[in-house]
Amino acid sequence: MPEPWATTRTEIAGIAVAELARRFGTPLFVYDQAVVVERIGSLARFDHVRYAQKACSNLAVLDLMRRHGVLVDAVSAGEIHRATRAGYRPAGTPPAIVYTADIFDADALDQCARLDLHVNCGSPDMIDQWGRRSPGREITLRLNPGFGHGHSRKTNTGGKQSKHGIWHEQLAECVARAQQYGLTVAGLHMHIGSGTDLEHLSRVCQAMETAAVEAGPQVTSISAGGGLPVPYQAGERYVDLDAYYERWNATRLRLEDRFRHPVRLEIEPGRYLTAEAGYLVAEIRAVKRQADNTFYLVDAGFNNLARPILYGAYHPMAITPADGDTARSHRDVIVGGPLCESGDIFTQEEGGFVVARRLPEARVGDLLVIENAGAYGFVMGSNYNSKPLAAEVLLRSDGPHLIRRRQSVEELLQGESIPAPPTDHAAPHS
């Protein structure tokens, strides 16, 4: 994607933004299939690519991954259901579906046992629970190497303040614990957070090698986890994928030489595969002056895209003028949503500090396109303020396809009920 991003946009993948909004309404998530396929291809040197579906789990996206040879990770019973509905079958080597978590809830444990899924255990208690339920299986251990990395403190998944993974000093104890149930620790997984760079990667690779040697020669696979960086603004860069692969491959080769058997090398991206493919299209419904500030208020809020309010995340933005005028002057504006919440601002930094963005002059009826919204967008959506969930559209070479219709008001209220009036004529609680 060119940098800096254009602040006016009339098309997405050759299809008019205005036509997408007219046909499918707003707010609208749009995914460009070609970008996803390109990202998958960039990781072809790894033995296996396993998609962290929590990033964008629509069935059509999962089906696209499966048809391009990508395996899948599931972190809940619901994601297991999604994977199987999208055509993934649990059997096989390597396993098509891996359940990765720090706990089992009752439903997830039942699903893993019923489908005989491969489990990636992130806590010692998981080993006990899985061993009692399904002894004699192969498992993977997710390890916390004692350090982490992330573009935000909230996306750092390693170190002593992270809940994720088995603490590296407990590895030997956990291998012995697994053996009590006849479980074989056949794989190790390590993910320290988002935006991993080569400096941190070298530490991760060394930690993985040390852990694998300690775990023993029964280890037949290692996972690099995810965290591949995606540029959201000028000055940010992709990681050098050749150098990234070479560091992991060198680790794998040393383990193969030590163990005298092949060791599979997996990578587990989520955001990297889908973020840049996605756009959130919203309509500008008000242009307001508040003292020295100008606000563009749109019909999408943090109920649709929560990354700015959660992490202060930056997303490129562009205006689609309703009149087709792409030569408008620019101004500094604050972009916000419709929610009854002060934090409903798309142009904010971590800590909730509101900042202005340089965008073209806009009017009510113009469209705002929030870019790089294909990961942790719809999947983190909510019904806050009783707002229906947005629609999702997949753009293919044969045109746009609606892959999730907009939630109706009836669906919004589905499952709720009002209990019958009390029969004892007691005064109602205030």
Going residue by residue through the chain (430 aa), what tens digit of pLDDT does each one get?
Answer: 434 578 999 999 999 999 999 999 999 999 999 999 999 999 999 999 999 999 999 999 999 999 999 999 999 999 999 999 999 998 888 999 999 999 999 999 999 999 999 999 999 999 999 999 999 999 999 999 887 655 444 444 556 667 889 999 999 999 999 999 999 999 999 987 655 667 778 889 999 999 999 999 999 999 999 989 999 988 888 999 999 999 999 999 999 999 999 999 999 999 999 999 999 999 999 999 999 999 999 999 999 999 999 999 999 999 999 999 999 999 999 999 999 999 999 999 989 999 999 999 999 999 999 999 999 999 999 999 999 999 999 999 999 999 999 999 999 999 999 999 998 766 666 5
Query: So where are the chain's domains?
Result: 44-268, 275-413
* Residue of 15, 1, 14, 17 whose CA lies nearest to 318: 17
Reported as half-sphere exposure (CB side, CA atoms, 13 A), residue 201 has a value of 26
Q: Which residues of 157-169 are buried (b: 16+ CB within 10 A; e: fewer)?
A: bbbeebebbbbbe
Instruction: In whole angstroms, give the CA distance from residue 146 to residue 397.
Output: 45
| Domain at 275-413, CATH homologous superfamily | Lyase, Ornithine Decarboxylase; Chain A, domain 1 (2.40.37.10)
Q: 16: left (phi > 0), else alpha (psi -120 to 50), else beta?
A: beta
Which residues are part of the catalytic machinery? Answer: 340
Residue 34: CB atoms within 10 A of its CB come to: 14
| Fold category of 44-268 in CATH | TIM Barrel (3.20.20)
Cα distance between residue 31 and residue 26, in whole Å: 14
Write phi, then psi, for 384 (nearest 5 degrees): -55, 140
Q: Which pTM value belongs to this model?
A: 0.93
